[in-house]
């Protein structure tokens, strides 16, 4: 039950924070969501974030004894992985540096929150 609750709360965090950050960026820069159908885009994001939430919680549940009280190390490893992903996307086509920066800002906010969620619900 705690694992399911952790997955649900981490998913909400991973989904809501980027929507807010990209919404602010859209207001400031006029950035538009990719594709013709914003709902299809958000559905795709939701599926991706659910997979990330399952991995984030599942790996913590399996490795929490190894990390112990060093949950920020766990969060930091995820952050580095995501930042490399954002930079890689920005180097490629159809993704701007503004989007990459918004992604990095989102990750800098939602990963520590997610780390707090898993450490409270699934302590080492």
The answer, yes or no, to whether residue 92 has pLDDT greater than 80, is yes
The answer, yes or no, to whether residue 71 has pLDDT greater than 90, is yes
DSSP for 22-35 reads HHHHHHHH----SS
Residue bearing tokens 């929150």: 113
Q: What is the pLDDT of residue 110?
A: 98
Q: How far apart are CA 70 and CA 64, in angstroms?
A: 9
Residue 102's Cβ-side half-sphere holds a number of Cα atoms within 13 Å equal to 21
Q: What is the pLDDT of residue 72?
A: 96
Q: How far apart are CA 118 and CA 124, in angstroms?
A: 10
Q: How many domains does the chain have?
A: 1
Q: What is the pLDDT of residue 7?
A: 98
Q: What are the tokens at 65?
A: 């004894």
Q: What is the pLDDT of residue 123?
A: 94
DSSP 8-state code for residue 68: T
Per-residue pLDDT, averaged over 83-107, amounts to: 93
User: What tens digit of pLDDT does each residue of 10-69 get?
Assistant: 999 999 999 999 889 888 888 777 777 888 888 999 999 999 999 999 999 999 999 988
Q: Which residues form the domain of 100?
A: 2-121
Count of all residues that appear for the chain in the document = 124
Per-residue pLDDT, averaged over 90-118, amounts to: 94
pTM of the model as a whole: 0.91
């Amino acid at each position: 039950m705690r694992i399911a609750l952790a997955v649900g709360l981490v998913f909400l965090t991973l989904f809501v924070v980027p929507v807010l950050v990209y919404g602010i960026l859209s207001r400031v820069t006029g950035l538009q969501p990719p594709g013709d159908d914003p709902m299809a885009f958000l559905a795709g994001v939701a599926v991706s974030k659910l997979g990330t939430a399952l991995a984030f919680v599942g790996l913590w549940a399996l490795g929490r004894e190894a990390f112990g009280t060093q949950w920020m190390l766990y969060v930091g490893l995820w952050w580095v992985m995501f930042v490399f992903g954002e930079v890689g996307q920005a180097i490629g086509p159809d993704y701007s540096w503004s989007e990459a920066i918004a992604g990095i800002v989102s990750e800098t906010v939602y990963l520590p929150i997610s780390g707090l969620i898993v450490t409270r619900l699934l302590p080492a």
